[in-house]
Amino acid sequence: MRCSGGIFDYDNAVLRREELAVLTADSALWENPEKAQKLMSEKNILEQNLQRYEDFSDSLRDYKEMEDFAEENEDEAMLEELSQNLTDLRENAKYAELEALLSGEVDGNDAYLEVHAGSGGTEAMDWAQMLLRMYTRWAENKNYKVEIIEETPGDVAGIKSATIKISGHNAYGWLKSESGVHRLVRISPFDSAARRHTSFASIGVYPVVDDNIQIDINPADCRIDTYRASGAGGQHINKTDSAVRITHIPTGIVVSSQTQRSQFQNRDNCWKMLRARLYEIEMQKKAEAAQTARDNQGDNGWGYQIRSYVLQPYRLVKDLRTEVETADCKAVLDGDIDLFLSAALAQKVQGENAMNGS
């Protein structure tokens, strides 16, 4: 198993866990809540990694003993079961190895995920809602928390746009490669002539940045608008101008929040999302110094397709960057997208290693 781009050092990890146990047990630590929270987070993640490493080791030892027993007794059924167990263990180990490579500055953070319907009217809005459901299902399968920040319903069906916050360890690290344009080809359920339609929707993924990351925003550069929330909601939400939209004039970034009961809460959400978007821009600027313009603009540009979902005349989901594909469209749209996320992460790591000459 690897950790932060290198081999997982079990002995040093155990020593660090003991150090963290002493540090977090000191009551004086909690006089500095930010430091305490950071150390507790490191301790919890380290414990999870150590437990996973120990579980893999225990499983391998148990399977070896079972294999010796099965061969000695010529138990073909047990050997077949062991073969499947080892295949499953190998896949889990590969996933854990990739996750250990999520060592970027904010890879471990929560994520904001935005969905915007492209051109195509009702078709595109329905597709945007399908994508929102796909990512929500993926997050729920990972036991991540999903919070709706903003959702603008479509005129007939689907959504024009939506923003959700996905909370969980490495949420941003896994999802950051999903930014870009997603293309759907299918027989339209809204077309009485049952013709095939192509729809587009864009995905944007941004890290939830901690308060200790300084992002300076000049209030004079921002226009703040309030409006009445749309869609489902209580009496207060729908009858007052509690929704907030902030436009950052220098960059053209627009963020909005409408699901909280008070204007103050929605405004706070907007400032947090704006900070995340501006931080993402700064990270892209740093990346551009080390990567080609195509690599940087490819993942996030509206004009760049990253994945194609074809439901008619055949069934195929294909990532246009990694060439990974599957015919199980239903599973993908139900949130089973790990094969695409893993391939994108592996490709990124290979590219970085090549650029660094390693």
Identify the structural domains of the chain with CATH numbers, from first to last. Answer: 2-100 (1.20.58.410), 111-355 (3.30.70.1660)
pLDDT at position 352, please?
Answer: 62
Judged against a pLDDT cut of 60, whether residue 316 lies above it is answered with: yes
For the chain, the average pLDDT equals 83
Confidence of residue 353 (pLDDT cuts 50, 70, 90): low
Q: Which tens digit of pLDDT belongs to each residue from 120-138?
A: 789 999 999 999 999 999 9
| Torsion angles phi and psi, residue 169, rounded to 5 | -60, 125
pLDDT at position 355, please?
Answer: 56
